[in-house]
């Protein structure tokens, strides 16, 4: 492999081209190019200045490698690489940037993706969605709290020893934990005492602690707590039972935390799925994170990889919190209206990306410019849209590497160390033209400059324009410029198949803290939360799929984050102890709605461990709440508001009958011990049960006089079985899992 690396680099340097046989995503392509550029004698000697590389040549990074037809993992193992599971033709591999350069030119490698850096997508919720009734067993055969189900996630800022992640005896409910730090694919696995002695992946964050607490926080004993009494007045009690626990409080927990690199998300999903199979328990994974760049059509190789995992494990994904942001423009061009212009922010200093996608393979014309708000004139303009074999580096004169472009007036507009990096091509995943413009500009001698983007298309052509970062797509009140909106603000990672994308509705507008109380003045109880992202994919799918409570949600926070900056917190509850204190605090966002939905799915999985993503989507759709708010904004609620209680009744077949008529003899199935099932039919005189393998072979049976029967399946091999019950005129057939 070493000889191959240096042979390839020598050839590339000699030709002066950054060529690769494999298709590389923008981030991987830039890493290959910068690795080669920084390897030149001139760069090493300091004779030229190249744009800084994201990773040093000796670092290790994780990439998603897609193999060509007819090739298998041996295309990688023969190079000394260690690939992970193969899904949809792709596998995760850790390597150095120097190895990446060589691998891109190896036969059998169709594509390489370094992925996208993700970010977190930031009282009354349980009762609003019917979860409290499920915990109490109201109208059900018993109470459901997530027992026998695993709740996992990938997030940042996890405090695994928070009181809410311990059981009543003080033992860890987190049975397995993984920490993925950096982009090198390195995974630390924690169990038992290692979890107890662990602190946190990032004391500057608490997002993951809050998210996991919503999904499966379980502390229900006494603590100091602020709450609203029956008359709506705030009170503070020193020894009141905790009200702020999670949706699946008795579920087993198995979280991942650390760096939110795109490929770390896939590694985390593989870890949780493998643990689920190892323990024989169903699992739900929550991803309260994502990004705004990308095609927003579910066709990226990462989306397809996650979709394959989603066939075996339920996955919830936050819709995003850009529902009020001017971050998207969708334009269908006509013969008389073939241009859209917009500003990227309002200052000369811009950091972020404008991602432009045509709905077809037909190229768009993209120009970056500088507009002087004082003189109201365009003082710099450069077309960047022509497809190239590499990255266009449009930079200030400080950077002197070969091939960099230094347009006139760039320094005075965007600084001599400013840079605009551009890649344009037809994407191999969806056959759509894409132009990605990354800004890292500074303030030059002109102080009233604003960067702008102009996109031109042919009549009938449609394009999506997305902004990432804090700048946004703005008109600034200038004639001829378009203000962005939130109509396609949906998280790109929420657009894939076999996942459940979750928006947020307002379950509460106010919340108490120990020292104060707060309210959102612009939120309407029951309506969609303004921040909740939404959008329509190019193939017409309206997202998110469903809405869940996501406003003023009180959940656990990291003690390490609290101790690092106590003045930044206003807690609603605290559990004091000699070893450490644990705190609960409010947060709002689709980051809160997604784990709420994940916790609901854990309750449903307890009732039926064999539920698939398609079955779950059908149940959500059939039972979701419709009201005046969902009818007013169906494009933002998806199929409606989740109704956890109606959903679990659907799972249990309670209240169901022929053509929706309730059967007189309801048949309830309850696992009373591991692989031992009680079958209860209230009005039956006899109960006959048969258990079949999925291939149709009879595995066990029982018959009982009366309305109550027991089926003992402890001697059967683990797997999925079909349980058929006949009790008088009533019958029921369900799938069950033997562990």
Among 71-80, 491-500, 525-534, 545-554, which is the least confidently predicted range?
A: 71-80
pLDDT value of residue 232? 84
Rounded distance between C-alpha atoms, residue 141 and residue 143, angstroms: 7
Structure tokens belonging to residue 293: 């760049």
| Residue 10 neighbours by CB distance under 10 Å | 11
If pLDDT is split at 50, 70 and 90, which confidence band does 679 have? confident
If pLDDT is split at 50, 70 and 90, which confidence band does 41 have? confident
Among 132-141, 243-252, 362-371, 528-537, which is the least confidently predicted range?
A: 132-141
Rounded distance between C-alpha atoms, residue 284 and residue 305, angstroms: 17
**pLDDT reading at 663 higher than 50:** no
Structure tokens belonging to residue 227: 């709450």
If pLDDT is split at 50, 70 and 90, which confidence band does 696 have? low
Q: Given the DSSP bridges, would you call strands 150-155 and 283-287 parallel, antiparallel or unpaired? A: parallel
Q: Are 600 and 619 in contact (CB under 8 A)?
A: no
What's the mean pLDDT when you consider all of the chain?
89
Rounded distance between C-alpha atoms, residue 511 and residue 347, angstroms: 37
Residues with Cβ within 8 Å of residue 218, at least 6 apart in sequence? 164, 165, 166, 167, 173, 245, 246, 249, 250
pLDDT tens-digit profile of 255-280? 999 999 879 999 999 999 999 999 98
Among 1-5, 351-355, 655-659, 689-693, which is the least confidently predicted range?
A: 655-659
pLDDT tens-digit profile of 156-210? 999 999 999 999 899 999 999 999 998 888 899 999 999 999 999 999 999 999 9
Q: Are 114 and 29 in contact (CB under 8 A)?
A: no
pLDDT value of residue 536? 96
Cα dihedral value 98, 100, 102, 104, nearest 10:
-150
pLDDT value of residue 16? 40
Average the pLDDT over 359-372 and give the result. 96
Largest CA distance in the chain: 92
If pLDDT is split at 50, 70 and 90, which confidence band does 138 have? confident
Q: Given the DSSP bridges, would you call strands 377-383 and 109-113 parallel, antiparallel or unpaired? A: unpaired
Among 374-383, 460-469, 681-690, which is the least confidently predicted range?
A: 681-690
Q: Are 28 and 114 in contact (CB under 8 A)?
A: yes
Q: Which helix (H) or strand (E) holds 413?
A: helix 410-414
Rounded distance between C-alpha atoms, residue 263 and residue 231, angstroms: 50
Structure tokens belonging to residue 479: 């004639």
Residues with Cβ within 8 Å of residue 311, at least 6 apart in sequence? 498, 612, 613
pLDDT value of residue 480? 95
pLDDT tens-digit profile of 65-111? 999 998 998 889 988 899 899 998 999 999 888 888 888 888 888 98
Among 88-92, 139-143, 506-510, 655-659, which is the least confidently predicted range?
A: 655-659
Among 376-390, 467-481, 660-674, which is the least confidently predicted range?
A: 660-674
If pLDDT is split at 50, 70 and 90, which confidence band does 64 have? very high
**pLDDT reading at 377 higher than 70:** yes
Rounded distance between C-alpha atoms, residue 393 and residue 423, angstroms: 9
**pLDDT reading at 658 higher than 70:** no
**pLDDT reading at 10 higher than 50:** no
* Backbone φ and ψ of 415, nearest 5°: 85, 150
Q: Given the DSSP bridges, would you call strands 473-474 and 365-372 parallel, antiparallel or unpaired? A: unpaired
**pLDDT reading at 633 higher than 60:** yes
Q: Are 297 and 539 in contact (CB under 8 A)?
A: yes
């Amino acid at each position: 492999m070493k000889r191959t690396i240096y042979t390839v680099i020598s050839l590339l340097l000699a030709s002066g081209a950054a060529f690769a046989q494999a298709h590389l995503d923008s981030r991987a392509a830039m890493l290959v190019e910068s690795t080669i550029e920084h390897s030149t004698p001139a760069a090493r000697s300091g004779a030229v200045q190249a744009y800084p590389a994201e990773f040093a040549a000796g670092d290790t990074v994780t990439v998603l490698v897609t193999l060509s037809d007819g090739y298998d993992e041996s295309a990688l193992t023969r190079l000394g690489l260690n690939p992970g599971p193969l899904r949809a033709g792709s596998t995760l591999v850790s390597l150095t940037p120097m190895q990446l350069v060589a691998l891109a030119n190896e036969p059998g490698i169709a594509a390489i993706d370094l992925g996208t850096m993700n970010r977190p997508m930031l009282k009354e919720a349980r009762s609003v969605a019917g979860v409290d009734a499920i915990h109490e067993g109201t109208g059900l055969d018993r109470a459901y709290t997530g027992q026998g189900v695993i709740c996992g996630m990938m997030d940042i800022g996890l405090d695994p020893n928070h009181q809410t992640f311990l059981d009543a005896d003080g033992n860890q409910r987190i049975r397995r934990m993984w920490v993925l730090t950096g982009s090198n694919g390195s995974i630390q696995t924690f169990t038992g005492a290692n979890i107890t002695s662990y602190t946190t992946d990032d004391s500057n964050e608490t997002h993951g602690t809050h998210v996991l607490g919503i999904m499966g926080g379980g502390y229900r004993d006494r603590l100091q707590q602020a709450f609203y009494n029956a008359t709506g007045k705030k009170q503070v009690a020193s020894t009141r039972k905790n009200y702020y626990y999670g949706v699946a409080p008795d579920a087993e927990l198995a979280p991942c935390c650390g760096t939110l690199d795109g490929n770390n998300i896939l590694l985390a999903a593989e870890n949780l799925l493998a643990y689920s199979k190892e323990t024989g328990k169903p699992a739900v994974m929550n991803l309260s994170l994502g990004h705004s760049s990308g095609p927003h059509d579910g066709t990226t190789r990462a989306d397809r990889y996650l979709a394959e995992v989603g066939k075996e494990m339920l996955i919830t994904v936050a819709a995003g919190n850009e529902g009020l942001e001017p971050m998207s423009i969708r334009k269908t061009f006509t013969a008389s209206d073939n241009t859209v212009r917009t500003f990227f922010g309002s200052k000369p200093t811009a950091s972020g990306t404008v991602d432009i996608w045509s709905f077809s393979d037909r190229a768009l014309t993209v120009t970056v410019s500088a507009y002087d708000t004082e003189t109201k004139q365009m003082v710099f303009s450069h077309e960047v849209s022509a497809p190239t074999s590499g990255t266009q580096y449009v930079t200030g004169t400080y950077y002197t590497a070969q091939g960099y472009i230094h347009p006139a007036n760039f320094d005075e507009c965007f600084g001599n160390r400013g840079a605009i990096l551009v890649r344009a091509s037809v994407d191999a995943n969806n056959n759509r033209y894409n132009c990605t413009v990354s800004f890292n500009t500074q303030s030059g001698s002109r102080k009233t400059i604003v960067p702008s983007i102009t996109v031109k298309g042919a009549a009938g052509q449609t394009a999506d324009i997305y902004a990432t970062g804090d700048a946004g797509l703005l008109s600034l009140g200038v004639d001829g410029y378009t203000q962005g909106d939130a109509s396609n603000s949906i998280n790109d990672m929420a657009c894939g198949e076999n996942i459940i994308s979750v928006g947020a509705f307002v379950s509460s507008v106010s919340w108490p803290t120990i020292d104060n109380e707060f309210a959102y003045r612009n939120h309407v109880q029951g309506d969609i939360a303004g921040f909740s992202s939404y959008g329509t994919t190019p193939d017409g799918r309206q997202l998110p799929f469903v809405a869940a409570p996501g406003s003023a949600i009180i959940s656990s926070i990291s003690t390490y984050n609290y101790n690092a900056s106590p003045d930044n917190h206003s807690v609603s509850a605290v559990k004091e102890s000699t070893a450490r204190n644990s705190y609960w605090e409010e947060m709002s966002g689709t980051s809160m709605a997604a784990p709420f939905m994940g916790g609901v799915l854990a309750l449903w999985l307890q009732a039926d461990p064999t539920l698939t993503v398609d079955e779950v989507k059908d149940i959500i759709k059939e039972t979701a709440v419709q009201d005046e708010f969902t009818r007013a904004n169906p494009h933002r609620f998806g199929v409606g508001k989740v109704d956890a209680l109606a959903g679990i009744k659907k799972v249990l077949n309670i209240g169901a009958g022929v053509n929706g008529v309730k059967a007189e003899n309801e048949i309830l199935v309850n696992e009373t011990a591991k692989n031992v099932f009680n079958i209860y039919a209230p009005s039956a005189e006899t109960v006959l049960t048969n258990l079949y393998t999925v291939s149709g072979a009879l595995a066990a049976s029982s018959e009982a006089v009366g309305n109550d029967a027991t089926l003992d399946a402890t001697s059967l091999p683990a797997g999925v079985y079909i349980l058929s019950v006949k009790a008088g005129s009533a019958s029921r057939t369900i799938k069950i899992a033997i562990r």
